[in-house]
Amino acid sequence: MEHDVADERNVIILGSGPAGLTAALYAARANLQPLVLKGIDAGGQLMLTTDVENYPGFPDAILGPELMERMEKQAARFDAELLHQAASRVDLSSRPFAVWSGDEEWRARTLIVATGASARWLGVPGEDRLRGRGVSSCATCDGFFFRGQELVVVGGGDSAVEEATFLTRFATKVTIVHRRGELRASKIMQERAFANEKIEFVWDSTVQEILGNGSVSAARLRNVKTGALTDVAAGGVFVAIGHTPNTELFQGQLEMNQGYIAVREPTTRTSVEGVFAAGDVVDFTYRQAITAAGMGCQGAMDAERFLESTGH
């Protein structure tokens, strides 16, 4: 019986990064009156980014949080309903799908999953204890607090190099620790880092432990080739070793691909008819704001066509 009482929507969108908000914009403009559950980390990973220099249309760069705020306003202008809460459970076994946020319940004729991905942590002693006391995954959120200190950045991809480069604005020295002998980062990012006299590199090494009493004082590094341990003095350790897709809600309900939601290219269709997925929850190749936004647009158009084909 409860199936009748729940609030039924044409489209429910889970997530409010570039994918979710672009989907909301397109669905709203198609007159589908989408409901967006923004999630706990509203705005997604761009909330943890400073200057976004590679989003088309912003020649002078734009701050990540400001870009997300503009996207949200644009979706709201066309009658997308945005709620600052996260879906806690979904049932995709029959249509309309059931979506819960705590005690609240909705029905969705179509569902667009844009739940994104979250930063990975090292899982070493001291990390949990000192998180927020010098251990961070977000240079742009926390860099300011480390003026005049020496810092460590862990990772070898674009985000690690970007974090390190940003941190040189505040730190006296930034040491990039990478488990391999060369970076994975793009050439332009590598060149910037190698040219920056404040950035040093420790190759073929991993962090064994983060040391400190109440705040970070050093990182204990282990050379993967020799096994030798060295302590590098640091007031902060920034972890930039990649991301895990936010798919817990959909385990056992949607087909996955290496932990990401599988879609039927070139569409955003998932293994369940009427459920679409877009952005970093799907994409382990590009992971850019622009590709996420593009997929959000595809997701909304796919959902609209699906609703038309089922007579809504």
Catalytic residues: 138, 141-142
Q: Which of 102, 99, 135, 138 is nearest to 118 (CA)?
A: 138
Both structure tokens of 263: 């879609």
Question: How far apart are the C-alpha atoms of 151 and 175, rounded to whole Å?
Answer: 6
Q: Report DSSP state, residue 252.
A: T
Number of H helices, E strands in the chain: 7, 21
The angle that helices 18-29 and 289-309 make with each other, rounded to 10 degrees, is 40
Query: Helix or strand or coil: residue 145?
Result: helix
204, 181 contact by CB (below 8 A): yes
Terminal CA-CA length for the chain: 23
Residue 184: name the closest of 199, 203, 210, 168 by CA: 203
How many angstroms separate the CA atoms of 126 and 213, rounded? 9
Q: Strands across the sheet with 236-239, in order?
A: 135-136, 236-239, 150-154, 173-177, 199-202
The pairing of beta strand 104-113 with beta strand 81-83: unpaired
